[in-house]
Amino acid sequence: MLKRDGRVLWWRWRRNPLKRRSDTAEAWIGVATTAILLLATPAVGVVTAGAAEHSALDRARGLHRVTAHLVEDAPPALSWFSGAATDSRVRATVRWTTHGGSPRSDTASVAAGSKAGSPTTVWLDDVGRIQPAPPTPTQAKVQGAALGAASAAGTGLLVVGVCWAARLRLDRRRRGQWDHAWAEFDARRGHRHA
Protein backbone atom coordinates (compact mmCIF):
# COMPACT_ATOMS: atom_id res chain seq x y z
CA MET A 1 0.00 0.00 0.00
CA LEU A 2 1.49 3.32 -1.07
CA LYS A 3 1.37 6.00 1.60
CA ARG A 4 2.50 9.59 1.83
CA ASP A 5 2.06 11.74 4.93
CA GLY A 6 -0.17 9.05 6.44
CA ARG A 7 -2.58 9.08 3.47
CA VAL A 8 -3.13 6.11 1.17
CA LEU A 9 -2.33 7.04 -2.41
CA TRP A 10 -4.55 6.03 -5.32
CA TRP A 11 -7.30 4.88 -2.94
CA ARG A 12 -10.04 5.76 -5.41
CA TRP A 13 -8.62 3.22 -7.87
CA ARG A 14 -8.25 0.30 -5.43
CA ARG A 15 -10.85 -2.30 -4.55
CA ASN A 16 -12.41 -1.29 -1.29
CA PRO A 17 -15.80 -2.18 0.20
CA LEU A 18 -16.11 1.34 1.60
CA LYS A 19 -15.51 3.03 -1.73
CA ARG A 20 -18.64 4.70 -3.08
CA ARG A 21 -19.61 5.22 -6.70
CA SER A 22 -19.17 8.96 -6.14
CA ASP A 23 -15.52 8.32 -5.22
CA THR A 24 -14.97 6.57 -8.55
CA ALA A 25 -16.87 9.34 -10.37
CA GLU A 26 -14.67 11.95 -8.70
CA ALA A 27 -11.54 10.07 -9.77
CA TRP A 28 -12.75 9.94 -13.38
CA ILE A 29 -13.65 13.64 -13.27
CA GLY A 30 -10.06 14.32 -12.21
CA VAL A 31 -8.70 12.23 -15.07
CA ALA A 32 -10.97 13.94 -17.60
CA THR A 33 -10.06 17.38 -16.26
CA THR A 34 -6.35 16.62 -16.49
CA ALA A 35 -6.68 15.24 -20.02
CA ILE A 36 -8.68 18.25 -21.20
CA LEU A 37 -6.24 20.67 -19.57
CA LEU A 38 -3.26 18.94 -21.19
CA LEU A 39 -4.76 18.36 -24.63
CA ALA A 40 -7.70 20.62 -25.40
CA THR A 41 -6.55 23.81 -23.73
CA PRO A 42 -3.33 24.14 -25.77
CA ALA A 43 -5.21 23.12 -28.93
CA VAL A 44 -7.78 25.89 -28.36
CA GLY A 45 -4.95 28.37 -27.84
CA VAL A 46 -3.11 27.35 -31.01
CA VAL A 47 -6.25 27.35 -33.17
CA THR A 48 -7.35 30.74 -31.80
CA ALA A 49 -3.88 32.21 -32.30
CA GLY A 50 -3.80 31.02 -35.92
CA ALA A 51 -7.30 32.30 -36.64
CA ALA A 52 -6.60 35.68 -35.03
CA GLU A 53 -3.34 36.09 -36.95
CA HIS A 54 -5.05 35.10 -40.21
CA SER A 55 -7.89 37.54 -39.51
CA ALA A 56 -5.46 40.37 -38.75
CA LEU A 57 -3.57 39.73 -42.00
CA ASP A 58 -6.86 39.54 -43.94
CA ARG A 59 -7.59 43.11 -42.91
CA ALA A 60 -4.67 44.22 -45.10
CA ARG A 61 -6.23 42.62 -48.20
CA GLY A 62 -8.27 45.06 -50.19
CA LEU A 63 -6.48 48.07 -48.71
CA HIS A 64 -4.04 50.12 -50.70
CA ARG A 65 -1.60 52.77 -49.60
CA VAL A 66 -1.85 56.35 -50.84
CA THR A 67 0.32 59.36 -50.12
CA ALA A 68 -1.80 62.25 -48.90
CA HIS A 69 -0.88 65.80 -47.87
CA LEU A 70 -2.08 67.69 -44.83
CA VAL A 71 -4.54 70.46 -45.61
CA GLU A 72 -3.88 72.21 -42.30
CA ASP A 73 -1.31 72.10 -39.52
CA ALA A 74 -1.87 69.12 -37.26
CA PRO A 75 -2.42 70.10 -33.62
CA PRO A 76 0.30 69.20 -31.15
CA ALA A 77 -0.51 66.34 -28.79
CA LEU A 78 -0.47 67.21 -25.13
CA SER A 79 0.57 64.81 -22.44
CA TRP A 80 -2.11 64.17 -19.86
CA PHE A 81 0.36 64.67 -17.03
CA SER A 82 2.83 67.39 -17.95
CA GLY A 83 1.13 69.39 -20.70
CA ALA A 84 4.28 68.91 -22.83
CA ALA A 85 4.06 67.84 -26.45
CA THR A 86 4.60 64.13 -27.13
CA ASP A 87 5.15 62.21 -30.36
CA SER A 88 1.67 60.72 -30.61
CA ARG A 89 -0.85 60.84 -33.42
CA VAL A 90 -3.80 63.20 -33.88
CA ARG A 91 -6.67 63.56 -36.35
CA ALA A 92 -6.25 66.12 -39.16
CA THR A 93 -7.67 66.78 -42.63
CA VAL A 94 -5.67 65.32 -45.53
CA ARG A 95 -6.10 65.48 -49.30
CA TRP A 96 -5.09 62.92 -51.93
CA THR A 97 -5.71 62.24 -55.60
CA THR A 98 -7.62 59.13 -56.69
CA HIS A 99 -6.50 56.84 -59.51
CA GLY A 100 -9.01 58.62 -61.73
CA GLY A 101 -7.32 61.96 -61.01
CA SER A 102 -10.03 63.54 -58.83
CA PRO A 103 -9.05 65.12 -55.51
CA ARG A 104 -10.49 63.71 -52.27
CA SER A 105 -10.15 64.80 -48.66
CA ASP A 106 -11.02 63.34 -45.26
CA THR A 107 -9.65 63.22 -41.73
CA ALA A 108 -6.89 60.76 -40.91
CA SER A 109 -4.51 59.93 -38.12
CA VAL A 110 -1.26 61.86 -38.62
CA ALA A 111 1.84 62.67 -36.60
CA ALA A 112 1.14 65.38 -34.05
CA GLY A 113 2.55 68.80 -34.94
CA SER A 114 2.91 68.07 -38.69
CA LYS A 115 2.81 71.15 -40.89
CA ALA A 116 0.32 71.80 -43.68
CA GLY A 117 1.47 70.30 -47.00
CA SER A 118 3.61 67.58 -45.41
CA PRO A 119 3.08 64.09 -46.83
CA THR A 120 1.55 61.25 -44.84
CA THR A 121 0.48 57.73 -45.70
CA VAL A 122 -3.19 56.75 -45.55
CA TRP A 123 -4.82 53.40 -46.26
CA LEU A 124 -7.92 53.26 -48.45
CA ASP A 125 -10.44 50.48 -48.98
CA ASP A 126 -11.91 49.55 -52.36
CA VAL A 127 -14.54 52.31 -52.04
CA GLY A 128 -11.94 54.98 -51.27
CA ARG A 129 -12.62 55.45 -47.55
CA ILE A 130 -9.73 55.94 -45.15
CA GLN A 131 -9.12 52.90 -42.96
CA PRO A 132 -6.76 52.27 -40.06
CA ALA A 133 -3.33 51.03 -41.05
CA PRO A 134 -3.32 47.22 -41.27
CA PRO A 135 -1.11 45.35 -38.83
CA THR A 136 2.33 44.21 -39.90
CA PRO A 137 3.01 40.45 -39.93
CA THR A 138 4.81 40.83 -36.60
CA GLN A 139 1.90 42.73 -35.08
CA ALA A 140 -0.48 40.07 -36.42
CA LYS A 141 1.61 37.34 -34.77
CA VAL A 142 1.64 39.22 -31.47
CA GLN A 143 -2.13 39.79 -31.62
CA GLY A 144 -2.67 36.12 -32.46
CA ALA A 145 -0.42 34.98 -29.63
CA ALA A 146 -2.17 37.26 -27.13
CA LEU A 147 -5.63 36.08 -28.17
CA GLY A 148 -4.47 32.46 -28.22
CA ALA A 149 -3.04 32.73 -24.71
CA ALA A 150 -6.20 34.43 -23.46
CA SER A 151 -8.46 31.79 -25.01
CA ALA A 152 -6.31 28.95 -23.63
CA ALA A 153 -6.41 30.53 -20.17
CA GLY A 154 -10.17 31.03 -20.44
CA THR A 155 -10.66 27.42 -21.54
CA GLY A 156 -8.51 26.23 -18.65
CA LEU A 157 -10.51 28.30 -16.18
CA LEU A 158 -13.76 26.99 -17.63
CA VAL A 159 -12.59 23.36 -17.35
CA VAL A 160 -11.38 23.84 -13.78
CA GLY A 161 -14.65 25.60 -12.92
CA VAL A 162 -16.73 22.73 -14.30
CA CYS A 163 -14.58 20.23 -12.38
CA TRP A 164 -14.99 22.26 -9.20
CA ALA A 165 -18.78 22.45 -9.67
CA ALA A 166 -18.99 18.69 -10.30
CA ARG A 167 -16.98 17.97 -7.16
CA LEU A 168 -19.19 20.31 -5.13
CA ARG A 169 -22.25 18.44 -6.40
CA LEU A 170 -20.67 15.10 -5.49
CA ASP A 171 -19.79 16.42 -2.02
CA ARG A 172 -23.37 17.64 -1.51
CA ARG A 173 -24.69 14.26 -2.60
CA ARG A 174 -22.30 12.44 -0.23
CA ARG A 175 -23.37 14.66 2.66
CA GLY A 176 -26.98 13.81 1.91
CA GLN A 177 -26.13 10.11 1.83
CA TRP A 178 -24.32 10.42 5.16
CA ASP A 179 -27.27 12.25 6.73
CA HIS A 180 -29.63 9.56 5.46
CA ALA A 181 -27.35 6.74 6.72
CA TRP A 182 -27.05 8.34 10.17
CA ALA A 183 -30.82 8.84 10.36
CA GLU A 184 -31.35 5.12 9.55
CA PHE A 185 -28.73 4.14 12.10
CA ASP A 186 -30.35 6.29 14.80
CA ALA A 187 -33.80 4.90 13.94
CA ARG A 188 -32.57 1.31 14.27
CA ARG A 189 -31.02 2.09 17.64
CA GLY A 190 -34.23 3.68 18.85
CA HIS A 191 -32.99 7.27 19.13
CA ARG A 192 -35.54 9.93 18.60
CA HIS A 193 -34.91 13.49 17.47
CA ALA A 194 -36.32 16.24 19.63
In tens, the pLDDT along 185-194 reads: 888 887 665 5
Region 71-94: mean pLDDT is 72
CB atoms within 10 A of CB 114: 21
- Supply the DSSP symbol for 11: G
> In 3-state terms, what secondary structure has residue 193?
coil
Whether 181 shows a pLDDT value over 90: the answer reads no
pLDDT > 70: percent of the chain: 85
Using alpha carbons, select from 74, 105, 104 the residue that is nearest to residue 92.
74
Band (81; pLDDT cuts 50, 70, 90): low
Question: pTM for the full model?
Answer: 0.64
59 or 144, greater pLDDT? 144
